[in-house]
Amino acid sequence: MVRSFRFGVNLVTPAPEREWRAKCRRAEELGYDVILVPDHLGMAAPFPALVAAAEATERPRLGTFVLNAGFWNPALLAREVATADALTGGRLELGLGTGYVRAEHEAAGLPFGSPRERVDHLRRTVEELAGLLGSPEHRPQPVQRPRVPLLIGGNGDRMLRLTAEHADIAAFTGARSVPGSATGQLAPITAEELDERVARYRELAAGRAEPAELNLLVQQVVITEDREAAVRPFLELVPHLTAAQVLELPIVLVGTVEEITAQVRAQRERYGFTYLTVLEPCMEVFAPVMAALRES
């Protein structure tokens, strides 16, 4: 059975109360299924932002995309998750990742750790959260049962194994961290590399009772009739790629509404992505694509 599409928008720009509520309402008006917030220093604190989003809206789910596990103690995080789930009326979706910006850890006075140490910490966090939030003794209690839906984002083998074992939603970034970057610089992976990563996840998840929803974080959406001209400004960011190669990247949606709609459908067939997340600057631009995909 093919899943229906679901669409989320990641709100990355902090705003005062009135402006924050207005853009959350706008996301709902445009038809987004999920309002999401990231977990970076310099951006809005995730849980208060989501509670405010819940008060401003009625329909969308509300999620973290994604929490930096290195910022969180599992016992304190369990309290935040349960409280936020209650205050959003059971609309919370919990997204978790290892964290990838060394400079943020240094600014917070927290250890960054090696990739292995960060994955180990995320695994402990996921497992301890499951125990805490699944216990009838835990206070406060979340609203959703059997649990708040869990999204895990990552690309490496150990992250994919953890995702296959525990996540309701498997999130793919379509990019990897640039070695040695303290600021979290990311480089896109090719369509063929993403094929391999999704295939590896499916191999690891083969024994699951229920398949996970597959998510892709889209970095750029441009409505245009001149696709090559539209991607030229991006080429200096990816000098190792040609314009044709950029247009093949799954995280770049460029073209007419009809062309992008066809691309999204093709990516559902190729990879299984049915849950797409766009960044806040693309929120309005992507709306007609969402409408077209729902009508077809």
Superfamily of domain 6-219+267-290: Luciferase-like domain (3.20.20.30)
Query: What's the 3-state SS for 234-249?
Result: HHHHCCCCCHHHHHHC
β-pairing, 169-172 with 61-64? unpaired
- Cβ neighbours for 69, distance < 8 A, ≥ 6 positions apart: 96, 97, 98, 99, 118, 121, 122, 125
pLDDT tens-place values along the chain, 296 residues long: 678 999 999 999 999 999 999 999 999 999 999 999 999 999 999 999 999 999 999 999 999 999 999 999 999 999 999 999 999 999 999 999 999 999 999 999 999 999 999 999 999 999 999 999 999 999 999 999 999 999 999 899 999 999 999 999 999 998 888 888 888 788 888 999 999 999 999 999 999 999 999 999 999 999 999 999 999 988 888 888 899 999 999 999 999 999 999 999 999 999 999 999 999 999 999 999 999 999 87
pLDDT value of residue 241: 87
pTM: 0.96
CA distance 3 to 149: 16
Q: Where are the domains of the chain?
A: 6-219+267-290
Q: Indicate the SS3 state at residue 272.
A: coil
Provide the terminal-to-terminal Cα distance of the chain, rounded to the nearest Å: 17
Give the per-residue pLDDT at 178. Answer: 81
CA dihedral 173, 176, 182, 183 (to 10 degrees): -40
